[in-house]
Structure 1
Amino acid sequence: MYIKFKAALLMVPFLATACAIPPEMRREVINEGDVPVVLSSEPTRNRTPLTAKLECYGDRLYAHGDGNTSIAVGNIRDYTGKASDLEGLLITQGGALMAYTALGNMTPGLTIYERFDTSVADAELNYLSKRQLGDGRMHEAPDAQGGNSERVPWKPYYGGSVLQSDYYIVGGITEVNYNIQSGGAELFVDQVGGKGRIFTMNVGIDLRIVGTQTLKVYDTVSIQKQVSGYEVEASVFRFFDSDLWDVNAGAKNQEPLQLAVRMAIEEAVLDLVQTVTGVSEGDCQPSVPLVEADEYVGGKGDKVGKSPVAPAGAVPTAAPAEGELGAKGDSDV
């Protein structure tokens, strides 16, 4: 019996870590002469449970129009100010990049314009204006007096190559609330036992969609996402005859914090795009159910108090009349 008990203790680490097994790993020599490195999974598309919903909405949006609604993204900053001495900034600084990816999943239902980092385009337009930019071919261009054209190695520029956007999305990551709820239990008898802990935190974002020509804010949205995790541990620390046994095993799992930020941004972007296009998400669903169907109160197409505005392609350069774009409080289309 004693031997069986000791054998059972040896199995504790393997049983406790069964749910924390990493992907299959192997050691490979990548470059001749290098030491082997550990490799696991291959690079894959960074999809979230909401990616399928965004793609579905993009198809639905394209079916209702021609994809000419043009949207850009401004700066989506981290306003939480949360930082660690060991890890640095705790919240991703790439909120705008995540928003662009969310919009990209809706193409060809809409058109995306770059406004977040235009440094390369600005440099080339500057070269173009100075007649320094070419493409390796000769071009016809008027001479300095505006008379007959001449063949030149630089590309002539007459302006108007940069197209305007209809709307842009801007905002920030505004909340990180630690330990919204936590709990656990611990039991040890003669220094043999275990413990477990669960905890929940959340992140929040605030975004808005703005008319590029009028600077009118058409809609705002605040989205929060809870992040949960758990930790379990089993340990033995005691003497068996003349042997001292010190066995520890455990597992720890937490929903990725930055994934929660990405999903909140995806949900917010989907909400805002529906407002300006007038097309609801319909029956588009996440690839992984996030809540029970009877708990999901009101899809974005059923928002109360917010109506979609006119199609983006019809936005004039002058400020439109309020009645042309729909007022808050009208029913959804």
Structure 2
Amino acid sequence: MINLNTLFSAACTKASGAVLASAMLATGCVSPIAGPSGQYASPIGNAPVTANPTPYSEGLVCMGHFARSSGYRAPRIAVGRILDYTGKADIEGGRRVTQGASLMAISAFAKSGARLVERFDTSVSELELKYANNKLIGDDVPEDFRKITAGSIPGSDYYLVGGITELNYNIRSVGGDAFIGDLDPTDTKGSIGAKLYVINVGLDLRMVETETLEVVDVISYQKQIIGREISLGVFDFANGNVFDVGVGGRAQEPIQLAIRSVVERAVLEMMANLYAIPSGDVCSQTEGAISTNSVTGDFVPRGAPLEEYNGPSRAIAANWHDRRDPTLRGRN
């Protein structure tokens, strides 16, 4: 006598195994046992690291080169706290805007050729000073300790502080949906939809003279951010089968990159004020020399001649990538 429960259980087991195998094939090679490499699965994606410029990065770079070529002594700049004052946060995702605006400003000042002094995070320096004061830090000389020298830390001429003060949702949005088809229920039907929406971010920054605490420059900027959504669907009966196909896409200008753009525009205008540069015409005077600068920063090499400066190569996506750099390809 055939046991129906046994047959049903076996069929379910085979079906479950087939579904599991199909899911594993669809999602890639995943094993519950680590392979020879010590991993359960290899991560996807192989995009190289690239530079992260904004539309104002080139202006910062050419301004810094113009200041150096004209013999202008760049001021020493310190960057303080540029905090998020919007108060906008998701229940699960945390803060909606970046908490690293100060770091963006430091990078922007580096592009402009300013001389930077660290005031944002001095925890390591303060700890080293404490150890040196207790004669606990030794340098290369045996049985010797680091001396604390008065006046060894250069001071800043100006410092930058401020905050991100605006994040406004849905300044304006527009959208539409349409359904197309005749009265025959078996004929092809289609739908299409599109939406656009606009938000914005804003910040307020001020530059302060360090010795007198006089506010010498104040800037308030905002930038609008656009997003879009498009959908398309088709529904049809064919040969006794039902086909329901939908495609679509969403895209939004990155909020954090918009904040970086606002920060770089503000830093550019402030440095133009310090350099006494009235407009972007200075970039035409540095044409042909921009190749010696980099939108990732602009620092001279330490302990090497200027000809070995790697600023321009920092923005090349293939550099140092084991599959893209021809000098590294084939070594592994």
TM-score by length of 1: 0.69
User: Larger deviation: 169-178 or 65-74?
Assistant: 65-74
Return the match for 1:268 from 266, 269, 280: 266
Match of 1:120 in 2: 124
| Inter-partner Cα distance in structure 1 for 2:119 and 2:278 | 26
Q: Residue 89 of structure 1: CA displacement?
A: 0.6
Instruction: Please give the residue correspondences for 1:24-39 in structure 2 after superposition, counting only pairs within 5 Å.
Output: 32-34=37-39, 35-39=41-45
CA deviation profile, 1:141-177 (whole Å, cap 9, x unmatched): xxxxxxxxxxx51022231111100000100000011
Q: Residue 192 of structure 1: CA displacement?
A: 1.6
Instruction: Please give the residue correspondences for 1:149-164 in structure 2 after superposition, counting only pairs within 5 Å.
Output: 153-164=144-155
C-alpha distance 178-245 of structure 1, shift in aligned 2 (>3 A): same
Given the alignment of the two structures, is residue 177 of structure 1 paired with residue 140 of structure 2, yes or no?
Answer: no
C-alpha distance 120-280 of structure 1, shift in aligned 2 (>3 A): farther
Q: Residue 225 of structure 1: CA displacement?
A: 0.7
C-alpha distance 160-252 of structure 1, shift in aligned 2 (>3 A): same
Given the alignment of the two structures, is residue 129 of structure 1 paired with residue 136 of structure 2, yes or no?
Answer: no
User: Larger deviation: 240-249 or 47-56?
Assistant: 240-249
8 Å Cα contact 2:59-2:280 kept in structure 1: no
C-alpha distance 281-58 of structure 1, shift in aligned 2 (>3 A): farther
Instruction: Please give the residue correspondences for 1:14-25 in structure 2 after superposition, counting only pairs within 5 Å.
Output: none
C-alpha distance 136-104 of structure 1, shift in aligned 2 (>3 A): same
The letter for the 2-side match of 1:73 is V
Match of 1:226 in 2: 224
Instruction: Please give the residue correspondences for 1:49-64 in structure 2 after superposition, counting only pairs within 5 Å.
Output: 49-64=55-70
The letter for the 1-side match of 2:128 is E
Q: Residue 281 of structure 1: CA displacement?
A: 4.3
CA deviation profile, 1:111-156 (whole Å, cap 9, x unmatched): 1111100111111111122222221315xxxxxxxxxxxxx51022
Match of 1:206 in 2: 204
C-alpha distance 259-30 of structure 1, shift in aligned 2 (>3 A): farther
8 Å Cα contact 1:218-1:276 kept in structure 2: no
SS at 2:272 equivalent: helix
CA deviation profile, 1:246-287 (whole Å, cap 9, x unmatched): 1110111111110000000000111122223323343267xx
C-alpha distance 60-180 of structure 1, shift in aligned 2 (>3 A): same
Match of 1:195 in 2: 193
8 Å Cα contact 1:201-1:226 kept in structure 2: yes
Q: Residue 244 of structure 1: CA displacement?
A: 1.9
Q: Structure 1 unaligned segments of length 5 or more: list them.
A: 1-25, 139-151, 286-333
SS at 1:170 equivalent: strand
SS at 1:39 equivalent: coil
Match of 1:146 in 2: none
Given the alignment of the two structures, is residue 100 of structure 1 paired with residue 101 of structure 2, yes or no?
Answer: no
| Inter-partner Cα distance in structure 2 for 1:226 and 1:284 | 28
Q: Residue 219 of structure 1: CA displacement?
A: 0.9
| Inter-partner Cα distance in structure 1 for 2:73 and 2:197 | 43
| Inter-partner Cα distance in structure 2 for 1:174 and 1:68 | 29
| Inter-partner Cα distance in structure 1 for 2:36 and 2:107 | 34
8 Å Cα contact 1:73-1:100 kept in structure 2: yes
C-alpha distance 175-256 of structure 1, shift in aligned 2 (>3 A): same
8 Å Cα contact 1:211-1:218 kept in structure 2: yes
| Inter-partner Cα distance in structure 2 for 1:182 and 1:31 | 53
8 Å Cα contact 2:112-2:271 kept in structure 1: no
Given the alignment of the two structures, is residue 48 of structure 1 paired with residue 39 of structure 2, yes or no?
Answer: no
SS at 2:44 equivalent: strand
TM-score by length of 2: 0.69
Identity %: 39
| Inter-partner Cα distance in structure 1 for 2:157 and 2:36 | 49
